[in-house]
Amino acid sequence: MTTQQGIHHSNPASLTGISRRELLSRSGTGLGMLGLAGLLSDDSLLRSVIAADSNSPLAPKQPHFEGKAKHVIHIFCNGGPSHVDTFDNKPELTKHHGKPLPFSNLRTERKTGHCFGSPFSFKPYGKSGIQVSELYAKTATAHIDDMCIVRSMHANVPNHEPSLLLMNCGESTLIRPSVGSWVSYGLGTENQNLPAFIAMCPQGYPIKGAQNWQSAFLPGIYQGTYINSQHQDVEKLIANIKNKEIPLQEQRRQLDALKQLNEIHKAGRGEAPELDARIENYELAYRMQLEASDVFDIRDEPANIVESYGKSNPARQMLIARRLVERGVRYVQLWHGAGQPWDNHDDIEKNHRRLAGEQDSAIAALINDLKRLGLFEETLIVWGGEFGRTPVVELPTAGANAGKINGRDHNHWGFTVWLAGGGIKGGQTYGTTDPFGFKAEENPVHVHDLHATMLHLLGFDHKQLTYRYAGRDYRLTDVHGEVKHAWIA
């Protein structure tokens, strides 16, 4: 709140250099419906610094209706986690282990063989008694009654690139804005000192790189800011956040002199909102330096909290994600690692155990933490990959995998994502795959439906959140998408 002092709205009409009318016409009906005024709910005021400038493209905006979720943490198991080894228990599959499926194998990326029962044991958890594999025992023990397990997801093709784009941008091939960009465009963000949308991945990029968090035709400011979370360096988070030459107090003197010169320059030019905006922008940037730098510094976290998350890179990311959400960041995407770590064509037992092991405690701790801080109800957590994996074993392809016959191929026909917090009705499963876990059968949910529902939870009618570009209004879900009201509390 103290940082609010000294910020004045001299003229909220056109501080960005484009007029309000232009802005409205440029952004089509979407933004018009959102309302441009920087209206803020009181609770967000309490813990975030607010944009002085309500026309800033990132100023908080009202959605179409009161959304239950205000933040999103998307835990992305890139490569494709196996649903039949995690959240979609298939006793039939185990029974047929080593035997052919009673129906012919669906076409996936590579050749597949007989049934491959899960090497992991499942058991029911919580009041809801939902079956979860040992891989996520901690998460399930603590939170299954807050989770909605969607077991009937499906996508379009069994390849990483198009499926990553579909899951992230709602379109497999063409250049479209990512979910996080749409959400940042629609809602702005609560903390002007941090990016609205952050994509973290330790040690490099996932496949498809920055396209996964692209803003496409939305203004560049809505693009996800990528952080190599291995570094934990605020400079990787916000470029040029630190001045390596001039200490802060000297920079303050610089900015004071600058302000005087800018005032002199302004005198005699009459009303000039574009000049005001840039003057104010320096103050904003100055404060950003002070406040952004502690995000990654987890030294002030109690030891038991740090410990509860665990030591892996993905785990540390989750702790940082909590700190980001706490500070008002709108959308955080957590990639498990560079490349496609979950793509276990071989040795799925060993690898899935390791990968889930890097996550399980951390997810449990993250949800605990969010609950403790009162943020769980307004933070939507989404867990999943770009697709799932086949219930049948993958057959070896020379030079392509290790030829061990103990892994699973890509499966877009049916897979699992789960959601929690942010208005989700927990303790339920939604939809099913066939008895072997190959294909979504009951209540199939397409990726577009997932997107429509996520936007709904954030307060948007996915058909109305649009952006006028190249002669037409675009939306995240194109001409598809159905809100799944059953998931919502």
Give residues 418-447 in contact with another protein (rule: CB under 8 A).
Answer: none
Interactions with another protein, residue window 452-481 (CB under 8 A): 470-472
Nearer to another protein, 216 or 424 (CB): 216
| Among 261, 373, 486, 489, contact with another protein (rule: CB under 8 A) | 261
Interactions with another protein, residue window 176-205 (CB under 8 A): 192-193
Distance CA 435, CA 392 (A): 13
CB of 185 to another protein, least distance (A): 12
* Residue 285 engages another protein in binding (rule: CB under 8 A): yes
Nearer to another protein, 56 or 139 (CB): 56
Nearer to another protein, 372 or 404 (CB): 404
* Residue 17 engages another protein in binding (rule: CB under 8 A): yes
CB of 93 to another protein, least distance (A): 23
Q: Which amino acid is it at 328? A: G
* Phi, psi dihedrals of residue 377, rounded to the nearest 5°: -65, -25
Query: In terms of Cα–Cα distance, which of 70, 72, 76 is closest to 383?
Result: 76
Instruction: Select from 51-59, 84-92, 183-191, 439-447 the region that touches another protein (CB under 8 A).
Output: 51-59
CB of 384 to another protein, least distance (A): 22
For the chain, the distance separating the N- and C-terminal CA atoms, rounded to the nearest angstrom, is 33
CB of 198 to another protein, least distance (A): 12
- Kindly report the number of other CB atoms within 10 A of residue 311's CB atom: 11
Q: Which amino acid is it at 311? A: K
* Residue 244 engages another protein in binding (rule: CB under 8 A): yes
Distance CA 351, CA 359 (A): 13
Q: Which amino acid is it at 128? A: S
Interactions with another protein, residue window 68-97 (CB under 8 A): none
* Residue 268 engages another protein in binding (rule: CB under 8 A): yes
Q: What is the largest CA-CA distance in the chain?
A: 85
CB of 196 to another protein, least distance (A): 10
Token code pair at residue 110 = 């590579």
**In the block, residue with structure tokens 């709904």:** 456
Distance CA 346, CA 401 (A): 7
Give 411's strand partners. Answer: 388
| Among 69, 132, 137, 284, contact with another protein (rule: CB under 8 A) | 284
* Residue 216 engages another protein in binding (rule: CB under 8 A): yes
Interactions with another protein, residue window 383-402 (CB under 8 A): 396-400
Q: Supply the DSSP string of 116-141, one letter for each residue.
A: ---SS-EEEETTTTEEEEGGGHHHHH
